[in-house]
């Protein structure tokens, strides 16, 4: 079953249909869950080339980036879920205190019900399929809402998913803001949203009307700190890779760099050289550099390069007709400039000098908590100090982006960068209710528990409960 504009979306009927499927019990058995995960794995194999082409159409994405980020990573996550879901489903025995003995107690993971997954446009395959897979592994029905800003990928998801998944338990809804608004008006058992902080607030308000739990995977300005002890060649290469991947349209891309003043000029030179090494002297002609998703976002980035954006050390070119913003390094922008106040979400990297790690920590902690923090240093004490003094969704040391990859590491934000986490067991847990179950026999049945509460009973109770 799919629902797609311009056919009017009847979100209420859709909700009831999926709820009936869930209440029938068909999604609970391990065999059903494994079948859905296996279907997704087959789809990622069978349709890999179609999805790569859709990503190229929507984002001008290089093939290597498309396969690695949206297809390869998703397949790894699917394998991990399939391998472990059977053990995660099992009840966990826990010890009981003397006050309730004799008894047994266990925690039983149960699916929440019918969940809504709203995906963004920047990684439109990975960020739809991976949360969906976690929800299915947990035994839920799913409404999948791809982004209308990635229309080729949205159409591919709408066509492919019903071919590989239980169509009475998984529904793809295409469409724009009006359709998403209609979906958000319904009562779901969980809403998983990936996107901007501004829209995340809208989703949170809508969810609150039904007291629906949410995971909000947002973004923000993820800082990078480079200490004087860092290997600057490696730091420049890894920062440039993380920043310019997908033309900077990555929620955990390094948003700006704070670097010890004594090595700032050297780092800037190496970053600029790294752009040439990656993309040649004309990055616009490179097959390894992507494009901006649409003109509105391109014009926004163009505006960020205007007032107060600092001195451009590399790049700065914009070709609106080609959807191109050059990989750009800008030095010492005003902290109050838009480029330092807004999440950039594009290939512009501000670099600011700081006196030392303490100054970097103060700069970071004065701003909303980011989704990611990157620290480059050769000294362990500096690394530990920065991690301990700051708060972020995740941290990657002497590398960028890669803390996203291990399935055993929960991925999520904190504060303005989001709430909740997924990947691996964390994803299974977020779409499950951990139900507490205490089991006692009819005998013995101690009258000590029941009225009348005599002084003797109270004295015994105080001894037990002290």
Contact 96, 103 (CB under 8 A): yes
- Asked whether the CA dihedral 195, 201, 206, 207 is positive or negative, the reply is positive
The catalytically annotated residue of 77, 130, 141, 251 is 251
> What is the rounded CA–CA span in Å between residue 219 and residue 195?
7
- Asked whether the CA dihedral 209, 211, 214, 216 is positive or negative, the reply is positive
Task: Tell whether omega for the bond before 444 is within 30 degrees of 0, i.e. cis.
Answer: yes
> What is the rounded CA–CA span in Å between residue 367 and residue 314?
27
The catalytically annotated residue of 65, 217, 343, 361 is 217
The phi, psi pair for 261, rounded to 5°, reads: -55, -35
| 3-state class (DSSP) for residue 246 | helix
In what helix (H) or strand (E) does residue 197 lie, and over which residues does it extend?
Answer: helix 197-208
> What is the rounded CA–CA span in Å between residue 378 and residue 367?
26
Contact 210, 306 (CB under 8 A): no
> What is the rounded CA–CA span in Å between residue 80 and residue 38?
12
> What is the rounded CA–CA span in Å between residue 55 and residue 64?
11
Active-site residue flag, 217: yes
Q: What angle do CA 214, 220, 224 make, to 5 degrees?
A: 130
Query: 421 vs 29, 208, 391, 411, 413, CA distance in Å?
Result: 25, 19, 15, 5, 7
Name the residue with tokens 């799913």. Answer: 142
Q: What angle do CA 375, 214, 242 make, to 5 degrees?
A: 25
Q: 144: closest CA among 128, 123, 159, 166?
A: 128
b/e for 214-226, b at 16 or more Cβ within 10 A?
bbbbbbbbbbbbb
The phi, psi pair for 236, rounded to 5°, reads: -60, -45
Give strand pairing partners of 172.
2, 144
List residues with catalytic annotation: 217, 251
């Amino acid at each position: 079953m799919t629902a797609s504009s311009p056919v009017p979306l009847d979100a209420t009927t859709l909700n009831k249909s999926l709820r009936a499927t869930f209440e029938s019990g068909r999604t609970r058995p391990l065999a059903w869950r494994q079948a859905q995960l296996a279907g997704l794995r087959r789809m990622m194999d069978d349709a890999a080339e179609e999805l790569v082409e859709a990503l190229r159409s929507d984002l001008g994405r290089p093939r290597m980036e498309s396969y690695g980020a949206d297809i390869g990573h998703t397949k790894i996550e699917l394998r991990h879920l399939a391998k472990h879901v059977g053990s995660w489903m099992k009840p966990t025995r826990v010890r009981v205190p003397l006050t309730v003995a004799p008894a047994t107690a266990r925690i039983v993971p149960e699916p929440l019900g019918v969940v809504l997954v709203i995906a963004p446009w920047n990684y439109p395959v990975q960020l739809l399929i991976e949360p969906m897979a976690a929800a299915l592994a947990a035994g839920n029905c799913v409404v999948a809402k791809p982004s209308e800003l990635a229309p080729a990928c949205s159409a591919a998801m709408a066509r492919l998913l019903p071919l590989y998944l239980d169509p009475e338990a998984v529904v793809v809804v295409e469409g724009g803001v009006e359709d998403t608004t209609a979906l958000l008006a319904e009562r779901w058992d969980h809403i998983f949203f990936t996107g901007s902080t501004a829209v995340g607030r809208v989703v949170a308000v809508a969810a609150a009307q039904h007291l629906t739990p949410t995971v909000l995977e947002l973004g923000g300005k993820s800082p990078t700190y480079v200490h004087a002890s860092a290997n600057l060649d490696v730091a420049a290469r890894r920062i440039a890779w993380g920043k310019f991947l997908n033309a900077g349209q990555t929620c955990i891309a390094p948003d700006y760099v704070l670097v010890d003043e004594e090595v700032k000029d050297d780092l800037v030179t190496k970053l600029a050289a790294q752009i040439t090494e990656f993309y040649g002297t004309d990055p616009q002609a490179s097959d390894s550099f992507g494009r901006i998703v649409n003109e509105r976002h391109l014009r926004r980035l163009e505006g960020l390069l205007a007032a107060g954006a600092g001195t451009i050390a590399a790049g700065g070119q914009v070709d609106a007709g080609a959807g191109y913003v050059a990989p750009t390094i800008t030095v010492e922008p005003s902290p109050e400039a838009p480029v330092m106040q807004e999440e950039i979400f594009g290939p512009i990297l501000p670099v600011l000098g700081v006196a030392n790690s303490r100054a970097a920590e103060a700069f970071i902690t004065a701003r909303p908590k980011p989704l990611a923090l990157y620290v480059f240093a050769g000294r362990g004490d500096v690394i530990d100090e920065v991690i301990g003094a700051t708060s972020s969704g995740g941290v990657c040391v002497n590398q960028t982006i890669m803390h996203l990859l291990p399935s055993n590491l929960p991925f999520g934000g904190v504060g303005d960068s989001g709430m909740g986490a997924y990947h691996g067991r964390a994803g299974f847990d977020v779409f499950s209710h951990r139900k507490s179950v205490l089991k006692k026999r009819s005998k013995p049945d101690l009258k000590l528990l029941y009225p009348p509460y005599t002084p003797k009973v109270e004295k015994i109770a105080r001894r037990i409960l002290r």
